[in-house]
Amino acid sequence: MRRFLEVIEELALKDLPLLGGLFTWSGGLNGLSRSRLDRFLISEDWENHFRGAIQCSLPRPVSDHFPILLDGGGTRRGPIPFRFENMWLKDEGFKELLKGWWQGFNYSGSYSFILTKKLKAMKIKLKEWNSEVFGKVGVNKGLALDKVSYWDNQEQLRALNEQELEARKEAREEFKKWALMEETSWRQKSREIWLKEGDKNTGFFHKMVNSNRRRNCLKKIKVNGTWLSDDHDIQRRVVRAFKDLLSDPGGWRPCCNNIEFDRIGDEEATRLDESFSGDEVFLALSDLNG
């Protein structure tokens, strides 16, 4: 132990305080032996890059070790765009729910206008359903795991009756369901669709998502020989650059006076949104000449 502490000091590493407990392993006779065997060691540069990092212990459903989690606080990003989640399709009755919503939207106008309005209404409906009914996958998975742990702890104290055994079985099935949902979600985010679902590749998908985020993250930009790393400065410079590209600079431009351009009238423009008639389809096929 002394040598271990000396190595930590030589490498200038830091052991963050452990939240949620004082030890990460217990065993021995009647579980009286306890020790802090697991820990994250970080450098000063790493801590400066990920401010607010903490390590905490997690529940242990089967092992004699408490898993520990290093939370770096994440990266600051803008609003998350809407994405249709493939895991929703695994929820029983979801397709019928979608069909009912779609048929319940009534709009009048051109076909393109109706499609646009229905898609926008469907997006709002899906967001509400996901927030109020479906919930967060990680939270639902954790609740199911808590139920499994509860019945396992009860079994340590006494024999479970048939109803309690059935309740534990349902909790385990619920945990499997949300674990598969989580894997499906991370698979979609990772874009690694060549791997088969259900093979418990959630850890790999998670790593690929983090890799994509690091690659797509704009941490700093160089403007006129100066590097900018502050989020506000980067946003301001990017907005200014696009304003310069897309705004009217004024000054001289070629004159188009007295030049005639072909254009269609209002009546012809309205006809572009009309549906094709049977006669028009027949004539178009006839003109293909076999």
Tell whether 271 is covered by a domain: no
Q: Is there a single domain that holds both residue 108 and residue 46?
A: no
Indicate whether 19 belongs to any domain.
yes
Q: Would you state the pLDDT for residue 42?
A: 79
- Residue 140 is predicted with a pLDDT of 73
Q: Which domain holds residue 230?
A: 220-248
Q: Are residues 10 and 61 in the same domain?
A: yes
Q: According to the model, what pLDDT value does residue 245 have?
A: 82
Number of domains in the chain: 3
Residue 160 lies in a domain: no
Query: What pLDDT score was predicted for residue 13?
Result: 80
- Of the candidates 74, 101, 117, which is a domain's last residue? 74
Same domain (yes/no): 1, 70:
yes
Judge if 52 and 10 occupy the same domain: yes
Looking at residue 133, its pLDDT comes to 73
Q: Is residue 273 part of a domain?
A: no
Please classify residue 187 by burial: count the beta carbons closer than 10 Å to its beta carbon, then call 0-12 exposed, 13-18 middle and 19+ buried. buried
In the chain (290 residues long), the average pLDDT of successive 10-residue segments reads 70 76 71 73 73 73 73 59 76 85 88 88 84 73 79 75 81 78 69 53 56 65 81 83 81 73 83 87 83
For residue 165, the model assigns a pLDDT of 81
Question: Are 70 and 94 found together in one domain?
Answer: no
Q: Taking a C-beta distance cutoff of 8 angstroms, is the pair 180, 85 a contact?
A: no
pLDDT value for 196: 54
* Whether 52 and 91 share a structural domain: no
Domain co-membership, 14 together with 44 = yes
Whether 280 maps to a domain, the answer reads no
Between CA 34 and CA 216 the distance in angstroms is 43
Domain-ending residue, one of 25, 49, 74:
74
Residues 19 and 66 in one domain: yes
The reported pLDDT for the residue numbered 271 is 84
Q: Of 134, 152, 174, at which residue does a domain stop?
A: 134
Q: Would 275 be classed as within a structural domain?
A: no
For the chain, the C-alpha Rg in angstroms (whole number) is 30
If asked whether residues 2 and 70 sit together in one domain, one would say yes
One-letter identity of residue 101: W
> Is 52 within a domain?
yes
